[in-house]
Amino acid sequence: MTRLLLGVALLGLLVPTLARAQEEGLEQDPEYQMHLREMQMEFETREVRAEHERQMAQLELEALRAEIEEAQNGSEDGPLALLLILCGVVRILVATWIYQDIRRRNAGSGLWIVLGLFGGLFAALVYAVVRLGDSDERKKRANSR
């Protein structure tokens, strides 16, 4: 029985010593060192990839926020854009009206059409006043003949 106890005690002392010796032997083994280095490099690569993916997700999130802000700001400019388009259409209609009136009356010049394009309703008002003045002069001439 004593031998058994001594054997177990000796074995208890040798096992940690053998395990430590085996670890020390592995630590100095070049293949084990290379395997540890490969595992460390793989871990670092995964960390870098995870950081890259996190940064890409952050950039995508910022891009979406910018698009949302642009869409919100764009809706504020909508009425102004509509007003500018309406002004352009009115100027073209005024110039068309002036052109047709000049052709119908066989009087006037292309200068009024240009003024209608750039002046809009104000130019149409001035043209109408000048035209009324011309009509009055024509009536006077027709009556005097």
> How far is it between the farthest Cα atoms of the chain?
157
pLDDT band for 19, please (50, 70, 90 cuts).
Answer: low
Check residue 106 and give its pLDDT: 83
Best CA proximity match to 107, nearest among 139, 134, 132, 129: 134
* Number of domains present in the structure of the chain: 1
Domain that holds residue 30: 2-144
Distances in Å between the Cα of 110 and the Cα atoms of 58, 65, 93, 122 are 60, 52, 15, 17
Tell me the per-residue pLDDT of 63-112, one tens digit each, with 9 for 90 and over: 999 988 887 776 566 788 889 999 999 999 999 999 998 888 887 788 88
Name residue, tokens 């002069």.
137
pLDDT band for 47, please (50, 70, 90 cuts).
Answer: very high
Name residue, tokens 């940690």.
16
Contact predicate 120/94, CB 8 Å: yes
CA 120, CA 132: separation in Å to the nearest integer?
19
CA 95, CA 72: separation in Å to the nearest integer?
36
Give me the chain's average pLDDT, please.
81
